[in-house]
Amino acid sequence: MVESQELSTGNFSDWLRDTRSALKKDAETDVPCGECNACCRSSYFIHIKPNELETLNHIPEELLFPAPGLPEGNVLMGYDEKGHCPMLREGACSIYEHRPATCRSYDCRIFPATGIQISGKDKVLINQQVQRWKFNLNEAGEINEQKAVKQAASFLTQKRKLLPPEEIPGNPTQLAIMAIKVYKLFNETKTETVNDTELVEAVIEAGKNFDTRS
């Protein structure tokens, strides 16, 4: 069920630090979802990697198909005619203890954090939940941090065609994650003093550094 009252996400800086740390470690996020299961009912294809054996053992093979463009063994799980994940039973994940890493790392707060909109009839439930989250922005530093995250998201949205094809975010979630990874560039650089090509190169470099540095 998606309700309408506001939900506090706490301080923006704390959330950003924890999210970046989880992204670096490929770790689980700690979203206070409560009764919400909107992302399990929003027509998402769930990516499962070949090494997620515990998860794969709990999903019927017929629900999985090869993930386009990824190495052999990577699979996707689709959704039913209502847009629901087939593992959602009676409103709850039937394989919760064994759910895919994609589900463990999903955090819908990345959308209000980055200002990225998700659209489409199949994303109405998530949008309702997204609109409930409210970040605390207490200090100038925190306000500037979110401004930089939003600038990164806006730049990546507007200049996506300048990115090499393999770096172009495939969906709003990937776009938001990329903005969170490279936002510091927009905090530290006077972006008006560099041209778009230089900034794209810097973004790619910052993304690679984020992924390789512990």
Stretch that binds ligand SF4, among 16-24, 80-88, 147-155, 196-204 (CB under 6 A): 80-88
Which run of H or of E encompasses 77?
strand 75-77
CB closer to ligand SF4, 56 vs 152: 56
Sheet of strand 64-66, all strands in order from the earlier edge strand to the far edge: 46-48, 75-77, 64-66
Interhelix angle 196-212/12-25, rounded to 10 degrees, is 70
Stretch that binds ligand SF4, among 67-75, 94-102, 114-122, 159-167 (CB under 6 A): 94-102
What is the spatial distance between Cα 152 and Cα 80, in angstroms, rounded to a whole number? Answer: 35
Which run of H or of E encompasses 48?
strand 46-48
Closest contact distance (angstroms) between CB of 46 and ligand SF4 is: 5
Question: Residue from 67, 75, 108, 149 that binds ligand SF4 (CB under 6 A)?
Answer: 108
Strands 46-48 and 7-11: unpaired
Is 206 a binding residue for ligand SF4 by CB under 6 A? The answer is no
CB closer to ligand SF4, 128 vs 189: 128
Neighbour-count burial of 62, counting CB atoms closer than 10 A to its CB (0-12 exposed, 13-18 middle, 19+ buried): exposed
Residues 27-56 touching ligand SF4, rule: CB under 6 A, are 31, 33, 36-40, 46
Question: Residue from 23, 75, 85, 199 that binds ligand SF4 (CB under 6 A)?
Answer: 85
Closest contact distance (angstroms) between CB of 88 and ligand SF4 is: 4
Q: Which amino acid is at 124?
A: V
Is 126 a binding residue for ligand SF4 by CB under 6 A? The answer is yes
Residue 68, SS3 per DSSP: coil
Spell out, one character per residue from 142 to 181, where the chain touches ligand SF4: x when CB under 6 A holds, - when not.
----------------------------------------
Closest contact distance (angstroms) between CB of 76 and ligand SF4 is: 12
10: β partners: 135
Is 93 a binding residue for ligand SF4 by CB under 6 A? The answer is yes
What is the spatial distance between Cα 7 and Cα 5, in angstroms, rounded to a whole number? Answer: 7
Dig out the tokens for 177 from the structure.
């994650």
Is 87 a binding residue for ligand SF4 by CB under 6 A? The answer is yes
What is the spatial distance between Cα 189 and Cα 152, in angstroms, rounded to a whole number? Answer: 11
Contact positions vs ligand SF4 (CB under 6 A): 31, 33, 36-40, 46, 85, 87-88, 93, 95, 99-100, 103, 106-108, 126, 129
